[in-house]
């Protein structure tokens, strides 16, 4: 066990956990922030995507000891009032079916738009292909990303 | 306008109550429109007459509508209340939707399955809304001393034109609560619908995009422990012994033990499918700690002996025999090929197929196969359980709560009323969460450790646990005469362990000489329903085969199907045909028009397919091109006849997802076994369709219809496979018979 100070969604949080614990389980089990989802545990599905700094990161394989001072943003902190342009576009396009993967999808898309505000279809594919949606909402997700990018 | 009796069958029941703060509460049975089979009638729950849903009108005019059915991504939590709101005649903005508390004591058919939620509740939901509206009108009429026939409504407001009086529903709700429930109410004309047929957003949308706790895996309780399982690494093995010396010493670990979810003496329910009743369990403080101990736990396994158990399933009590042995996909394929070459059990025979084949100038015979598939819901199996001596409390994602409640009661030795299952939104189902062994496991674990616990499957546990889509093999034969006219069709199909053959579906009824047979292979690998079970495979085989037959006949594939359907409509063969040929033809005509079928596009290869299952008709055209020899699907057209469409944009979303889902499974996905061991354990080995492989454009068209709505979750899925296979043939000159079509891609 070891103490870690983590800057999550702008707030410093302290946890006492095994240093190897992935950030995902620190968020879910220790900080009761369950918006970030468990899907595969090996960075293959993207359900657990958060931002480490400005980079989309799979929190299921990121040991808490590797987070350091880098600010972490989760779906709960993406916007103050749930009104990030992507969140609004997701609602406008009524993207979700089961909804389980969507937090990870939105976090991947948000990191993309931060670095590339007007991505092409190919750039969207490249940034998003690590996020699986079992319901198959990919076509709508792409539309929502383009809608948000246009605003 | 349609007049309906509020007590038009013995299962309808409405009751009104005044609310403490003013306002009315109308409770009703969502089952009123059920048309169950005789078999289901025989299984009527004891509290059949209990109310299982309500709508509540508060003094301020706010309307709360309970949605009782499991929400699995099919959007019933939005669309079912829309139907009530329509007949109530309120503004959708005034409506709040609640997930009904899940209590199988009072709820019935709380199932997400078979694409039946809307179909079976359609009339009940409408009647409930219309009844409340009628009572509000009667209250206004009494209050204003005018005839009730003169009271009109719009968006939650009551009007009396002649006197100029008006009142909100909220203002009349308390008075309405005192009025006896009318015996007969009038439903709206379809043409007067204001909410049904308009697109309304997912009522949980905001919560989903902001990461609010909604799913079973998100559920937390004070003092809750985490449990994980270690199940046998191969089908055909079972637990021998556990060496927990290392695992027990690891940080955060509370207990290590074995469980037997389904002892051999227990009669299992219809959804108690489980290949691994005996396994090891680790309980600890946190998920990560338990995951580490799971790796350190040493378990010895031994081969199972053949065994049997009683199952109280759909066809009454049966004995299920489970064979021993370590099975492989290769040996499954060989066994299926062997049975495909022998006569099967005859399901239907029309005319004289033997003579037709003897006299044929040409016989086309083709074999189609498909592997096991894992459902791979994005939310792995999980359930919360807190079992005490007094009661069992369970919370989590389950498609069949009312069935699993009985299983838990039987397994724990508790009376049914002591078992309570609360349901969360489900992170996907596709049939996997019909089979609730994980829920029983959670209950058994909690009973043993006497603490609240959440059982979590890792992705590997989930993918290698079974309940797969069966593996299939089907043979189609067609006899053509010297003039290339179709004389006969013969289908013989089977699977490990189920046959996908539906003998009374098209092309039965459209051809004079027809033979359908089936066979099956016993297995110890657990299998179950997977989005449109059986249909998802037989549609791909049948519709690929018809494409080939049309070509041999020198006909356009759509025209050839339409001719057959014309025959089935005007002069059907046999009396058991289970489809409406005119509606079938309708979706083909619609897709033909929308896709501008017949107009060639350079470099674009197209395929068509159509299918009927789960009460709805769907036709698809897919357009693709080849890039480095691999298919890229550019565009898909769907034509759907599911009767009235309640929420068109949400329905289109499901159709789009279905196209993507089917393309992925047709091209890439498989679950194979070697010596009983699943060869795919996580998404690095199990190929799922991803963003860049989805079509850029999916056009969804619905047949305009006044017919009562039918299902949508499943019927849109099966035809896509063959549309893809037929387009691939156009692109490559090669027919694709064995799924997945591009396994190494």
The tens digit of pLDDT for each residue in B64-95 reads: 888 777 788 888 889 988 998 999 999 999 99
Query: Kindly report the CA angle at B256 between B288 and B308, in degrees rounded to 5?
Result: 115
Q: Would the pLDDT of B112 be above 70?
A: no
For B458, the closest of A41, A133, A141 (CB atoms) is A41
- pLDDT tens across B290-303, in order? 999 999 999 999 99
Question: Which distant-in-sequence residues (6+ apart) come within 8 Å of B671 by Cβ?
Answer: B371, B372, B373, B374, B463, B468, B678, B679, B680, B686
CA distance B74 to B76: 6
Burial class (CB in 10 A: 0-12, 13-18, 19+), A96: buried
**Are A50 and A27 members of one domain?**
yes
Which positions ≥6 away from A18 have C-beta within 8 Å? A1, A2, B251, B288, B289, B292
Q: Using a CB-CB distance cutoff of 8 angstroms, which residues of chain A are in contact with residue B380?
A: 38-39
CATH of the domain at A68: 3.10.20.30
Question: Mean pLDDT throughout B576-595?
Answer: 97
Residue B102 confidence class, pLDDT cut points 50, 70, 90: low
Q: Which of B335, B374, B354 is nearest to B466 (CA)?
A: B374
Residue of chain A minimizing CA distance to B381: A39
**Residue A87 and residue B193 in contact, taking contact as beta carbons nearer than 8 Å:** no
Assess contact for B356 and B487: CB atoms under 8 A. Answer: yes
**Cβ proximity of B451 and B388 under 8 Å:** no
Number of domains in chain B: 3
Is residue B24's pLDDT more than 90? no
Among the three residues A50, A77, A104, which one is the final residue of a domain in this structure?
A77
What pLDDT shows up at residue B115?
67
Residue among A15, A39, A18 at smallest CA distance from A27: A15
Note whether A21 and A62 are within 8 A (CB): no
CA angle A71, A76, A77 (to 5 degrees): 40
Task: Tell which of B225, B226, B294, B378 to mutate to test the A interface (max A CBs under 10 Å).
Answer: B378
Edge-to-edge strands, sheet with B513-520: B345-350, B513-520, B486-496, B471-480, B362-370
Last residue of some domain: A57, A77, A97?
A77
Q: Which domain holds residue B428?
A: 216-309+381-456
Q: Is residue B321 part of a domain?
A: no
Same-domain check for residues A54 and A91: no
Identify which of A35, A124, A139 has the shortest CB distance to residue B660: A139
Q: Is it the case that residue B9 has pLDDT exceeding 50?
A: no
Question: Which residues on adjacent β-strands are paired with residue B187?
Answer: B2
Per-residue pLDDT at A151: 85
Q: What backbone torsions phi and psi does residue A13 show, to the nearest 5 degrees?
A: -125, 145
- Closest Cβ opposite residue A96 in set B208, B456, B695: B208
- In chain A, how many H helices and how many E strands? 5, 5
Residues B196, B233, single domain; the answer is no
Average of pLDDT values for B172-186? 88
| B132 pLDDT more than 60 | yes
Residue B592 φ then ψ, to 5°: -60, -45
The answer to whether the CB atoms of B287 and A101 lie below 8 A apart is: no
Please report the pLDDT score of residue B109 as a whole number: 53
Handedness of CA B205, B209, B212, B213 (dihedral sign): positive
Helix (H, G, I), strand (E, B) or coil at B550: helix
ipTM, two decimals = 0.98
Residues A71, A15, single domain; the answer is yes
Q: Chain A: residue nearest B74 by CA?
A: A97
Cα gap A117→A149, rounded to integer Å: 6
Q: Kindly report, residue by residue over B631-644, the tens digit of the pLDDT.
A: 999 999 999 999 99
CATH code, B389: 3.30.365.10
Quote the tokens at residue B552: 């041999």
Q: pLDDT digits over B314-353, tens only?
A: 778 999 999 999 999 999 999 999 999 999 999 999 999 9
With contact defined as beta carbons under 8 Å apart, do B182 and B28 qualify? no
Question: Which own/partner pairs from B34-40 qualify as long-range (CB within 8 Å, at least 24 positions apart)?
Answer: B34/B109, B34/B120, B34/B121, B34/B124, B35/B120, B39/B314, B39/B315
- Which of chain A's residues have a Cβ under 8 Å away from the Cβ of B683? 40, 42, 44-45, 132
Indicate if A144 and A93 belong to the same structural domain: yes
More confident residue, B80 or B668: B668
B667 chain-A contacts, CB cut-off 8 A: none
Put simply, the answer to whether B653 touches A140 (Cβ < 8 Å) is yes
- Determine whether the interchain pair B688/A42 forms a contact, defined as Cβ–Cβ distance below 8 Å: no
Output the pLDDT for position B181: 85
What does the mean pLDDT of chain B come to? Answer: 91
Q: Does any domain span residue B334? A: no
Greater pLDDT, B68 or B427: B427
- Does the pLDDT value for residue B5 go beyond 90? no
Task: Identify whether B741 is part of a domain.
Answer: no
Report the residue from B202, B215, B684 with minimal CB separation from A94: B202
Compute the distance between CA of residue B319 and CA of residue B607 in angstroms, rounded to an integer.
44
Task: Report chain A residues whose CB lies below 8 A from the CB of B373.
Answer: none
* Whether A37 contacts B456, CB under 8 Å: no
Cα distance between the two ends of chain B: 56
Mean pLDDT computed over B528-540: 96
Q: What is the pLDDT of residue B158?
A: 97
B284 CB neighbours in chain A (<8 A) are: none
Across the range A75-100, mean pLDDT stands at: 97
The two three-digit tokens of residue B17, written as one number:
């109550």
pLDDT of B7 > 60? The answer is no
Question: pLDDT value at position B98?
Answer: 81
pLDDT tens digit sequence for B383-426: 999 999 999 999 999 988 888 999 999 999 999 889 988 889 99
Token readout for B729 is 């043939």
pLDDT at B36: 34
Q: Using CB atoms, pick whichever of A96, A125, A132 lies closest to residue B683.
A: A132
Residue A107 belongs to domain spanning: 85-149
Comparing alpha-carbon positions, the chain B residue that sits nearest to A98 is B73
Alpha-carbon distances, residue B236 vs B181, B204, B524, B667 (angstroms): 59, 42, 6, 29
User: Are B430 and A134 a contacting pair at CB < 8 A?
Assistant: yes
CB contacts, 8 Å: A41 with chain B: 291, 458-459, 682
Same domain for B166 and B99: yes
Q: Which of A97, A110, A122, A144 to mutate to test the interface with B (most CBs of B within 10 A)?
A: A97
**Distance of residue A69 Cα from the nearest chain B Cα, in angstroms:** 22
Confidence at B96, pLDDT banded by 50, 70, 90: confident
Question: Does residue A41 register a pLDDT over 70?
Answer: yes
């Amino acid at each position: 066990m070891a103490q870690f100070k983590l800057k999550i969604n702008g707030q410093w949080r302290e946890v006492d956990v095994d240093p190897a614990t992935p950030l995902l389980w620190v968020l879910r089990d220790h900080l009761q922030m369950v918006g970030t989802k468990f899907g595969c545990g090996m960075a293959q599905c993207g359900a657990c995507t958060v931002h480490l700094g400005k980079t989309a990161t799979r929190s299921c394989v990121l040991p808490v000891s590797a987070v350091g001072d880098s600010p972490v943003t989760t779906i709960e902190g993406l916007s103050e009032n749930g009104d990030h342009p992507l969140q609004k576009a997701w609602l406008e396009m009524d993207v979700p079916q089961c909804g389980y993967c969507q937090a990870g999808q939105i976090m991947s898309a948000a990191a993309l738009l931060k670095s590339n505000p007007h991505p092409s279809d190919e750039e969207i594919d490249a940034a998003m292909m690590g996020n699986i949606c079992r319901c198959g909402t990919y076509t709508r997700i792409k539309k929502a990303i383009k809608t948000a990018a246009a605003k | 306008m349609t007049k309906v009796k509020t007590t038009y069958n013995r299962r309808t029941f409405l009751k009104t109550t005044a609310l403490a703060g003013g306002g009315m509460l109308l409770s009703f049975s969502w089952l009123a429109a059920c048309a169950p089979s005789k078999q289901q009638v025989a299984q009527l729950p004891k509290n059949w007459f209990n109310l299982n849903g309500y709508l509540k009108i508060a003094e301020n005019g706010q309307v709360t509508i309970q949605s009782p059915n499991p929400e699995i991504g099919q959007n019933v939590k939005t669309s079912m209340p829309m139907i009530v709101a329509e007949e109530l005649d309120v503004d959708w903005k005034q409506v709040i939707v609640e997930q009904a508390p899940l209590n199988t004591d009072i709820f019935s058919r709380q199932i997400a399955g078979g694409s039946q939620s809307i179909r079976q509740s359609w009339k009940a939901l409408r009647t409930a809304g219309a009844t409340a509206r009628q009572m509000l009108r009667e209250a206004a009429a009494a209050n204003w001393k005018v005839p009730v026939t003169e009271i009109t409504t719009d968006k939650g407001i009551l009007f009396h034109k002649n006197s100029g009086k008006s009142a909100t529903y909220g203002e009349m709700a308390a008075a309405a609560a005192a009025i006896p429930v009318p015996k007969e109410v009038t439903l709206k004309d379809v043409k007067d619908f204001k909410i049904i047929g308009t697109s309304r957003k997912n009522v949980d949308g905001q919560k989903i995009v902001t990461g609010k706790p909604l799913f079973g895996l998100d559920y937390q309780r004070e003092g809750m422990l985490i449990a994980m399982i270690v199940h046998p690494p191969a089908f055909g093995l079972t637990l021998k012994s556990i060496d927990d010396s290392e695992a027990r010493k690891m940080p955060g670990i509370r207990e290590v033990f074995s469980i037997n979810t389904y002892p051999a003496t227990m009669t299992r329910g219809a959804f108690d499918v489980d290949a691994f009743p005996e396994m090891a369990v680790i309980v600890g403080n946190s998920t990560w700690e338990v995951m580490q101990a799971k790796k350190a736990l040493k378990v010895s396994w031994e081969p199972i002996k053949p065994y049997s158990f009683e199952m109280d399933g759909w066809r009454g009590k049966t004995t299920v025999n489970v064979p021993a042995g370590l099975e492989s996909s290769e040996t499954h394929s060989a066994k299926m090929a062997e049975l495909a070459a022998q006569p099967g059990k005859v399901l239907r025979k029309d005319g004289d197929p033997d003579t037709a084949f003897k006299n044929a100038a040409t016989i086309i015979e083709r074999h189609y196969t498909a592997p096991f598939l894992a459902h791979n819901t994005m939310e792995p199996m999980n359930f919360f359980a807190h079992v005490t001596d007094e009661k069992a409390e369970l919370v989590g994602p389950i498609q069949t709560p009312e069935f699993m409640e009985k299983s838990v009661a039987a397994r724990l030795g508790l009376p049914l009323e002591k078992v309570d299952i609360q349901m969360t939104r489900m992170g996907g189902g596709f049939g996997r969460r019909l089979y609730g062994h994980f829920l029983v496991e959670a209950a058994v674990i909690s009973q043993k450790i006497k603490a609240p616990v959440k059982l979590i499957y890792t992705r590997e546990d989930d993918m290698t646990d079974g309940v797969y889509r069966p593996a299939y093999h089907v043979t189609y034969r067609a006899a053509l005469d010297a003039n290339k006219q179709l004389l006969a069709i013969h289908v013989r199909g089977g699977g490990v362990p189920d046959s996908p053959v539906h003998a009374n579906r098209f092309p039965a009824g459209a051809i004079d000489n027809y033979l359908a047979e089936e066979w099956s292979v016993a297995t110890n690998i657990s299998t179950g329903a997977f989005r449109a079970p059986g249909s998802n495979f037989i549609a791909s085989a049948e519709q690929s085969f018809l494409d080939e037959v049309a070509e041999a006949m020198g006909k356009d594939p759509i025209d050839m199907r339409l001719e057959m359907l014309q025959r089935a409509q005007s002069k059907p063969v046999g009396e058991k045909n289970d489809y409406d040929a005119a509606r079938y033809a309708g979706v083909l005509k619609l897709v033909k028009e929308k896709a501008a079928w017949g107009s060639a596009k350079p470099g674009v290869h197209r395929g068509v397919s159509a299918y009927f299952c789960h009460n709805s008709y769907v036709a698809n055209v897919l357009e693709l091109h080849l890039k480095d020899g691999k298919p890229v699907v550019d565009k898909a057209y769907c034509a759907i006849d599911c009767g009235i469409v309640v929420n068109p944009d949400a329905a289109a979303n499901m159709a789009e997802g279905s196209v993507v889902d089917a393309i992925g499974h047709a091209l890439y996905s498989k679950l194979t076994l070697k010596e009983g061991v699943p060869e795919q354990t996580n998404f690095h080995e199990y190929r799922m369709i991803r963003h860049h492989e989805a079509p850029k454009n999916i056009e969804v068209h619905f047949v305009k219809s006044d017919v009562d709505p039918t299902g949508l979750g499943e019927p849109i899925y099966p035809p896509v496979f063959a549309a893809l296979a037929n387009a691939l043939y156009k692109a490559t000159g090669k027919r694709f018979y064995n799924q997945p079509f591009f396994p190494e891609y």
